[in-house]
């Protein structure tokens, strides 16, 4: 049996889908980059944590207000003043011309609900990624990982076949000529994966969705920070306000003053939550920008391990081109799912040994499987 026939048989055998295995691998796939997952947990979890603290304090202590009602008020009237002033949260005062002015302090009451809105906004990019990108990304990763494992199996099986042919060959020159012809005809390379990765160089769906996700996060973080600055700055340091109470039960009472001084007892919690939320959101901006900058450079570390297998032409520096494409995104996710690729660990362990046994080709070409196999055959022949 010639080397060409052996290569064809093993490639056809590997084309058969294995029984099971992919289902468990699909469930354990990482379909979000680690830095994106951290950003999602912090941007969504932080406002939820803070709003739970705010609601817990409000439930435990009641209205976050204390009004100084006149001494002649009954307990029922004083309770009415506290409830009414907390429901209205309007600051009343007279300007320099004696005109009556009012200013809303509803930001204190709406703050927990605004945190809930922030959490929903921050989760929208992750939700879009989950429903629009994860299905096709999972299929791409499963195919690439399966082909990488198959290429490793083909290389090992062909090494076994070549050793058998060498043992059964009566003429070493004929065997060497057959081996050289196999190297020249590229029997051992796997063009399906190479062409698939080349096709991903012309696809921009995944990279555009990553940019959209980061852009939406930056937009929502900017909106949240502007909200905290614009609406909270005016009420950030004001812990007292004048409440107009001559209404309802007290409207017909002539001895009731128009304004009652009230104090916001939860101002410190309001200040801590506002500053914490805004500061951590601002700290997320460099992480988001760093995640975008990774898309502008190739991640060669993963596929460099597979250069000892049939040559991947894409790893030649002059063929990679602009990194803003789906291939670079797939390489990043392959790096994140390296624990799911069975052949990666073995190749990473033997790569330094093979590199030390084989001379480096010129022009930074990759070491082909035949160079590896030929070195192994020569080593076994020396034994």
**Tens digit of pLDDT for each residue in 237-253?**
677 778 877 776 666 66
> Predicted confidence band at 14 (pLDDT cuts at 50, 70, 90)?
low
Instruction: Measure the N-to-C terminal CA separation of the chain; round to a whole number of Å.
Output: 25
Q: Rounded to whole angstroms, how far apart are CA atoms 236 and 268?
A: 9
Model pTM above 0.85: no
Q: How far is CA 24 from the centre of its chain?
A: 22
Helix 342-357 × helix 134-168 angle, to 10°: 50
Higher per-residue pLDDT: 41 or 272: 41
Lowest mean pLDDT among 115-124, 166-175, 314-323, 353-362: 353-362
Radius of gyration of the chain (CA): 34
Geometric angle at alpha carbon 117, from 113 and 118, rounded to 5°: 115
Question: Where exactly are the structural domains of the chain?
Answer: 3-382
Contact (Cβ atoms closer than 8 angstroms) between residue 355 and residue 367:
yes
Distance between CA 257 and CA 244 in Å, rounded? 9
- Phi, psi angle pair for 244, to nearest 5°: -85, 115
Q: Are 244 and 258 in contact (CB under 8 A)?
A: yes
Q: Which residue has the higher pLDDT, 359 or 74?
A: 74
Which residues lie below 8 Å from residue 110, measured CB to CB, with a gap of 6+?
none
> What gap in Å lies between CA 129 and CA 23, rounded to an integer?
21
> Distance between CA atoms of 1 and 178, rounded to whole angstroms?
11
Residues 216, 219, 221, CA angle at the centre, nearest 5°?
A: 105
57 vs 182, residue with greater confidence: 57
């Amino acid at each position: 049996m010639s080397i060409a026939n052996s290569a064809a048989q093993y490639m056809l055998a590997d084309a058969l889908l294995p029984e099971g295995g992919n289902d468990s691998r699909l469930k354990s796939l990482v379909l979000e980059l680690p830095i994106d997952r951290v950003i999602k947990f912090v941007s969504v979890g932080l406002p939820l944590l803070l709003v739970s603290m705010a609601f817990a304090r409000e439930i435990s202590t009641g209205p976050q207000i204390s009004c100084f009602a006149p001494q002649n008020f009954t307990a029922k009237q004083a309770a009415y003043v506290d409830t009414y002033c907390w429901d209205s949260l309007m600051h009343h005062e007279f300007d320099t011309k004696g005109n009556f002015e009012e200013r809303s302090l509803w930001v204190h009451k709406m703050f927990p609900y605004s945190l809930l809105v922030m959490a929903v906004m921050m989760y929208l990019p992750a939700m879009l990624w989950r429903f629009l990108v994860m299905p096709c990304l999972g299929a791409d990763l499963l195919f690439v990982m399966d082909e990488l494992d198959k290429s490793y199996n083909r290389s090992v099986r062909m090494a076994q076949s070549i050793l058998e042919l060498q043992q059964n060959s009566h003429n070493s020159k004929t065997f060497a000529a057959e081996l050289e012809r196999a190297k020249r005809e590229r029997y051992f390379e796997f063009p399906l994966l190479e062409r698939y990765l080349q096709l991903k160089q012309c696809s921009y769906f995944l990279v555009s969705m990553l940019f959209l996700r980061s852009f939406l996060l930056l937009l929502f973080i900017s909106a949240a920070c502007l909200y905290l600055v614009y609406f909270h700055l005016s009420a950030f340091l004001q812990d007292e306000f004048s409440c107009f109470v001559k209404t309802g039960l007290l409207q017909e009472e002539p001895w009731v003053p128009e304004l009652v001084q009230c104090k916001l007892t939860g101002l410190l919690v309001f200040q801590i939550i506002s500053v914490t939320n805004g500061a951590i959101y601002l700290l997320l901006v460099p992480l988001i920008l760093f995640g975008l900058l990774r898309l502008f450079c190739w991640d060669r570390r993963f596929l460099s391990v597979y250069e000892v297998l049939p040559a991947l032409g894409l790893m030649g520096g002059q063929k990679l081109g602009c990194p803003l494409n789906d291939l670079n995104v797939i390489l990043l996710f392959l790096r994140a799912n390296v624990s799911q690729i069975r052949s990666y660990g073995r190749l990473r362990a033997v790569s330094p040994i093979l590199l030390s046994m084989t001379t480096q080709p010129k022009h930074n070409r990759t070491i082909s499987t035949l160079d590896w196999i030929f070195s192994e055959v020569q080593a076994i022949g020396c034994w």
